[in-house]
Amino acid sequence: MNEPNEPNAPSPLSVKELANRILAARIALALVGVVSLVMGIIETVVLNNELDKHGLGFDAIETPHLILLALAYVWSLGFIALSFVANEHPFGAALTGLVMVFVDLTLGAVLEPSTLHEGLLIKGLIIFVLARAVMAGRQHYHAVNAEQAEQAFA
């Protein structure tokens, strides 16, 4: 276990700062989930209207686009669920959310490269908030484990 004066030990944050970062992560996870869900619904409605104009069905949509649309719904529900999990397990929820963002960006770049540059500021902000939440969650994890160890040996 890292001692506070070790060079690679994370600097201890106040309880209030940890709580603020965890709250920011919960809000970020929930916002990503809700925005993804709304964008998926809007895209589905717009796509359906375009297909109806041309007398086509959903089978006319290219497979990569369908995969990204389905992933938008799955990711949105996953992010919303993680926002609830973050209250009890902030490190795991934030880390999972960060991995999900990177997987989403990677899949989007591979399946539809033209979308990579869209929303860079928002994507960067989400990554920044989740990265800070991962660090705060890690410190929360160490603080909880230290407290449990003290109780076990008391």
Q: Round to the nearest angstrom and report the end-to-end CA distance of the chain.
A: 18
Q: How many CA atoms lie within 13 A of 53 on its CB side?
A: 6
Q: How far apart are CA 97 and CA 79, in angstroms?
A: 7
Place of tokens 């949509």: 61
SS3 (DSSP) at 17: helix
Domain of residue 97, residue span:
15-153
Indicate the number of domains in the chain.
1
Quick check: is 1 in a domain? no
For each of the chain's 154 residues, which pLDDT tens digit applies?
Answer: 445 554 554 456 677 877 777 787 788 888 888 888 888 888 888 888 888 888 777 677 777 777 778 888 898 999 999 999 988 888 889 899 999 989 888 887 887 788 777 778 888 888 888 888 888 788 878 777 777 777 777 6
Contact by Cβ (8 Å): 82, 96 = yes
Quick check: is 113 in a domain? yes
Q: Which residue type, as a one-letter code, is found at position 82?
A: L
Quick check: is 103 in a domain? yes
